[in-house]
Amino acid sequence: MNEEAMTATAPNASMRIGLEGVASDLSADKQTFHVPWGKAMMWIFLVSDTFIFSCFLLGYMKVRMTTTVNWPVPSEVFALSFGGEPIPLILIAIMTFVLITSSGTMALAVNYGYRGDKTKTVLLMAATALLGAAFVGMQVFEWSKLILDEGVRPWINPMGAPQFGSVFFMITGFHGLHVTAGVIYLSVVAYRVGTGYYDRHRGGNYEMVEIAGLYWHFVDLVWVFIFAFFYLW
């Protein structure tokens, strides 16, 4: 009788072991989809920011297509002369090159951060921040030229449609604020990497470098759309 009971219960015991094995596998597999809290929050912020920039660009396109006054030609408005004929969009091209280059240095900083190479991570993040600061400096020059030399204001534009000034200062100004915030953000993270803050408080985890990189790549990507829609159209 005991043998029969043992034989009858053997499959059930085997099944319990099998189910426990499946549960263990599922518990292990869920780590594949694990996203750190800081990274998830950054993605949520970037998605919300995407909607804001999208609304700005859609509003610009609506104004551009419906205005009855001639829209200024960007290649003429943003041309610079270096002792000869004006070169169309030369400053904007340099700004775009600087920002795209900074995206490359940021990607390298993330790579070396996960390798644990603090020196190269700090240097590359510092280079990224300097390139971002250079971009903001060129944008200040661009604004001062339009305001002081061309007389463009958010409410008036001597070169054509008055909406030109409002959408230009709104879109480029909002993006410039993002770049400025990014420069400060990168500088703080680079400083903490250099001083060993993440070694002491996060066990050598340089995840914050990647999170800062997500923000910076987003800022660079937004500029590509601004460059295409505002300066090339």
Residues 25 and 127 in one domain: no
Residues 61 and 30 in one domain: no
* Confidence at residue 164, expressed as pLDDT on a 0 to 100 scale: 92
Residues 108 and 205 in one domain: yes
Residues 168 and 80 in one domain: yes
For residue 12, the enclosing domain spans 1-34
* Confidence at residue 61, expressed as pLDDT on a 0 to 100 scale: 93
Query: In terms of Cα–Cα distance, which of 72, 65, 50, 81 is closest to 231?
Result: 72
* Confidence at residue 27, expressed as pLDDT on a 0 to 100 scale: 59
Which residue's structure tokens are 């995840």? 207
Report the alpha-carbon distance of residue 152 to residue 163 in Å, rounded: 10
Contacts 24+ apart (CB under 8 A), 55-58: 56/167, 56/170, 56/171, 56/174, 57/171, 57/225, 57/226, 57/229
Query: In terms of Cα–Cα distance, which of 95, 223, 91, 181 is closest to 145?
Result: 91
Residues 198 and 227 in one domain: yes
* Confidence at residue 50, expressed as pLDDT on a 0 to 100 scale: 96
Query: In terms of Cα–Cα distance, which of 222, 42, 209 is closest to 125?
Result: 209
Residues 177 and 225 in one domain: yes
- Number of domains into which the chain is organized: 2
Residues 5 and 92 in one domain: no
- What's the angle, vertex CA 175, arms to CA 71 and CA 162, rounded to 5? 25
Q: CB neighbours (10 Å) of residue 113?
A: 26
Residues 6 and 59 in one domain: no
Domain CATH for 120: 1.20.120.80
Per residue of the chain (233 residues), what is the pLDDT tens digit? 444 444 444 444 444 566 666 666 555 554 555 667 888 899 999 999 999 999 999 999 999 999 888 899 888 889 888 777 888 999 999 999 999 999 999 999 999 998 888 999 999 999 999 999 999 999 999 999 999 988 899 888 888 898 999 999 999 999 999 999 999 999 999 999 999 888 887 666 778 999 999 999 999 999 999 999 989 88
